[in-house]
Amino acid sequence: MARLGQNFLADPHLLDAIVRDAELLSEDIVLEVGAGEGALTQRLAEVAAQLHVVEIDRGLRAALAPLASRADVSMHWADAMKLDLAALRPVPTAVVANLPYAVATPLILRTIKDLPSVLSWTVMVQREIADRLRAAPGSRTYGSASAVAQISCKVELLRRVDPAVFRPRPRVDSAVLRLRRIGPAADEQTWELVRAAFAHRRKSLARSLEHSRPGAIGGARAALAELGLPEDARAETLSAEDFVALSAKLHPDS
């Protein structure tokens, strides 16, 4: 049965497809978060140069013991949101995982930021999360996570996944999502700008910034105008590139 809210993949064809989707090279160092009973882990170990596996549920020790004994598999019994990912050696170059849905978004964003060595992500996530991360500016689902992810990565939906392939069957639809790095992670000032801009979606971006930074409204409006954007633009109308440019305008000395 599922432990700690995990849903284990039970379809071998889909597991094989995820590994193919990842397009791993023989020299890739792979990070898998949420190994479950090891079905995907086994497949990844066969194609990666080294596999880092992060699993929080120590009740799965027996199931994962054969894999943990391999020289090319490094087991980390920890919470992936607390583990020092930047300290992993050798450094990961790819993330491939059936991610625990409760932490999928923050974990993806954290690996983008903390693991600049990672160039691609092939991850199973809740369909809603997939739609949010790849949403285009102006759409209802476009938000802070969309913008932050798209600053660094090209995000695409690879395949929709039927709930029937999981054990136990979840109540939500899933999807396999791919991210390919196209640049460095957003710096801290840009992260803060995006978060503040989306904090009050019904207000203009400048007014939303004013709530967290009193006195910011005038500078924000001027910066938007210099970029050729409406002074009363809302956050959801700005692309990832717009946010990077706006941050540079607001912090010219950084």
User: Tens of pLDDT along 116-134?
Assistant: 999 999 999 999 999 999 9
| Residue 3 pLDDT class (50, 70, 90 cuts) | very low
Domains and CATH numbers, the chain: 8-181 (3.40.50.150), 188-250 (1.10.8.100)
Give long-range contacts, CB 8 A cutoff, 24+ apart: 237-243: 237/137, 237/138, 238/137, 238/147, 238/197, 238/205, 239/137, 239/147, 239/150, 240/146, 240/147, 240/148, 240/150, 240/151, 241/151, 242/137, 243/147, 243/151, 243/186, 243/190, 243/193, 243/194, 243/197
Residues ≥6 apart with Cβ < 8 Å to 228: none
pLDDT at 8 over 80: no
- Please provide the average confidence, as pLDDT, over all residues in the chain: 93
pLDDT tens-digit map of 10-30: 789 999 999 999 999 999 999
Q: What residues have CB less than 8 Å from 135, skipping those under 6 apart?
A: 141, 142, 143, 146
Taking the CB of residue 212, how many other CB atoms lie within 10 A of it?
Answer: 14
Is the C-alpha dihedral spanning 226, 192, 179, 7 positive or negative?
A: negative
Is the pLDDT score of 4 beyond 50?
no
Strand runs labelled E in 162-201: 166-167, 174-181
Per-residue pLDDT reduced to its tens digit, 133-187: 999 999 999 999 999 999 999 999 999 998 888 777 777 889 999 999 999 999 9
Give the burial string for 121-139 (b: 16+ CB within 10 Å, else e): bbbbbbbbbbbbbbbebee
| Preceding amide of 92 cis, omega within 30 | no
Per-residue burial over 173-185, b = 16 or more CB atoms within 10 Å of its CB, e = otherwise: ebbbbbbebeeeb
